Amino acid sequence: MTLSIHSLHPVFAAEIGGVDLTQPLDAATAAAIESAIATHGVLVFRDQRITDEQQLAFSRLFGDLEETRGTGISKPGEQRLHPAFADVSNLDKDNTVLARDNRRRLYSLGNMLWHSDSSFKAIPASYSLLSGRVVVAQGGETEFADMRAAYDALDARTRDEIEDLICEHSLIYSREALGFGDLTPEEKATMRPVRQVLTRTHPVSRRKSIYLASHIGTIIGWPMPEARAFIRDLTEHATQRCFVYTHQWRPFDLVMWDNRCTMHRARRYDPTQVRDMRRTTVAGTAMTAAQEDRAAA
Amino acid sequence: MTMNTQTISGVFAGEVTGIDITRPLPDETIAAIEAGMDRHAVLVFHDQPLTDDTQRAFSRQFGELESAAGGHVTAVRDRRLPLDMQDASNLDQNQNVLTRDDRRRFFNLGNRLWHSDSSFRAVPAKYSLLSGRIVAEQGGNTEFADMRAAYDALDAATKAEIDGLVCEHSLMFSRGLLGFTELTEAEIAMFRPVCQPLVRVHPVTGRKSLFLSAHGGTIIGWPVPEARAFLRDLTEQATQRRFVYSHRWRQHDLVMWDNRQTMHRVTRFDESQPRDMRRTTIAGTATA
């Protein structure tokens, strides 16, 4: 099987053809996909009528999968999907559209802020794979921003300034930004901040990128308001339209992205329409920064 | 000397030349400036070495001065300037640069967020007039976004959706975004939210504009996270570079803007250097 690679944007993102993700793939094809994503950061596979089992099998070619347990506000037994899936739908366990003031819906609105998946974990995710099972007719795009191109476009002074900075990431911060403040003490305990570098080097391409996410709450050693203002400025720089690819979903698209060099966000859509998107997430293998010594703290 | 107002190339703002605003001006000149403000929303006057007194005198020709009371965490006794001038400097009452950890500095960092002056007051401000007494060598630009053009560029569905929506504005919301949440009970009482329409109509031109501000924290009747996400989207849309004029300061510039049809923010600068900017604010005369 020969992959075709068709560029979707001047700086990153490519559409991959010539592959059927519902079938087992050989090692050479998996390696070719991994090589393509190291270059392009975001890969789009069209017309992949994939089942949950097939999506799990395809995803596992790239590493161990993250479990979503303990990373959100859904309780065991409330989840619609297998624990290796992040449910990016607007549906409850009975496949009913969530009400406007549903707590899980309001929580999931955090996906409308630019972020990198699982940057709030000490070992953050490598790849995410999102399958569009039921897509909305209007809106609901996923936008991606290339953090390598954004890094390259920084002036030398800013690059020097951010070279060794370490940020604190937590789901508490991204949810606070939307005024979702009523987290329980148990939820807050699972969302304890972790540390991540601000300048990150990709393990395969060796390209540097700005490791940003709305999960960032502060920079170690900086006063919080100064850190927040600076991170906002960097985010605005990094998400200029010249660095952004907007993905318009068609049914059965599968989009795979590398969280180590991109950010993404969901765009607004009519919340009364069914949108069933299912994400598998490949776990990373290393921390980006030493974590705070909790025992000493 | 003939006053002349010219559009700054490529943007909505205007530059006024042929006028000395440090001296008393005839009524027809003031009327011409008001007309320029209605049209451009931002006017730049270069080389105007104003004192506090001449800045006040010039400002008062456009209406009553707004008091700074209730708009800051700096106690009145610790203010560097009298209450009829807003202190947009990074200096304390002894003219020393505020230290990195100073609570007043944290509060001032809220000016880095897009906002409309005094949108947190029940009667928000009409004009602001900012005089650059000591300007930053690098950075510290004031950026202005045209909320009329931003409104005009919305699609019909969004215009219909926002028609009639009312937002809550408070200094607590803008400061909360930066993680500055340690407020005293007195400050919380002072910063009690007020209601503002999301679409406002200019009293002179009749043009509609988006009334956005970092002080806007929710939309009445909406779940807070949904309101915040929507207001963020609108703000992003409204502050695209094509709607923005970035003012690079020279000493003795006076920049005057209409808060009823613009947002503004300051960009980052080296805060170890003194930056002395003094603002007079013309009070609005009616709720928006």
Residue B287 in any domain: the answer is no
**Residue A296: pLDDT above 70?**
no
Residue B117 in any domain: the answer is yes
Q: Which of B111, B115, B152 is nearest to B243 (CA)?
A: B152
pLDDT at B261: 98
Domain span at B81: 4-281
Residue B17 in any domain: the answer is yes
Pairing, β B86-87 against β B276-281: antiparallel
Interchain pair A226, B100: CB under 8 A: yes
Q: What number of helices (H) and strands (E) belong to chain A? A: 8, 15
pLDDT at A1: 62
Report the residue of chain A nearest B175, measured CA to CA. A225
pLDDT at B176: 96
Interchain pair B112, A177: CB under 8 A: no
Taken in order of first residue, the domains within chain A and their CATH numbers are: 4-283 (3.60.130.10)
Phi-psi region of A260 (alpha: psi -120 to 50; beta: other; left: phi over 0): alpha
Identify any residues that bridge with A144 across adjacent strands, giving them in sequence order.
A245, A264
pLDDT at A297: 46
Q: Hey, of B162, B226, B232, B267, which one would you mutate to test binding to chain A, going by the most A CBs within 10 A of its CB?
A: B226
Q: Which token pair is B40?
A: 């451009």
**What is the domain-level CATH number for residue B48?**
3.60.130.10
Whether the complex's predicted ipTM is more than 0.85 is answered with yes
User: Residue A287 and residue A197: Cα distance in Å, rounded?
Assistant: 9
pLDDT band at A293 (very low <50, low <70, confident <90, very high): confident
Q: Which residue is associated with the tokens 């599968």?
A: A254
| Tally of structural domains, chain B | 1
Residue B15 in any domain: the answer is yes
Burial A227-264 (b: 16+ CB within 10 A, else e): bbbbbbebbebbbeeebbbebebeebbbbbbbbbbbbb
pLDDT at A256: 98
pLDDT at B100: 96
pLDDT at A295: 57
pLDDT band at A182 (very low <50, low <70, confident <90, very high): confident
- Side chain identity at B63, as an amino acid letter? G
List all residues 6 or more positions away from B248 whose beta carbon is below 8 Å from its beta carbon: B141
Residue B288 in any domain: the answer is no
User: For the segment A253-292, what is each residue's pLDDT rounded down to a tens digit?
Assistant: 999 999 999 999 999 999 999 999 999 999 999 999 999 8
- Show which of residues 82-141 on chain B sit within 8 Å of chain A, judged by CB atoms: 100-101, 106, 109-110, 112-113
Interchain pair B223, A232: CB under 8 A: no
Could you tell me if B150 and B19 are in contact, meaning their C-beta atoms sit under 8 angstroms apart? Answer: no
Contacts of B112 in chain A (CB under 8 A): 229, 232-233
Residue B139 in any domain: the answer is yes
Residue B286 in any domain: the answer is no
**pLDDT by residue, tens only, chain B of 288 residues:** 689 999 999 999 999 999 999 999 999 999 999 999 999 999 999 999 999 999 999 999 999 999 999 999 999 999 999 999 999 999 999 999 999 999 999 999 999 999 999 999 999 999 999 999 999 999 999 999 999 999 999 999 999 999 999 999 999 999 999 999 999 999 999 999 999 999 999 999 999 999 999 999 999 999 999 999 999 999 999 999 999 999 999 999 999 999 999 999 999 999 999 999 999 999 999 998
pLDDT at B240: 97
Q: Chain A contact for B226, CB < 8 A?
A: yes
Residue B119 in any domain: the answer is yes
User: Residue B54 and residue B243: Cα distance in Å, rounded?
Assistant: 32
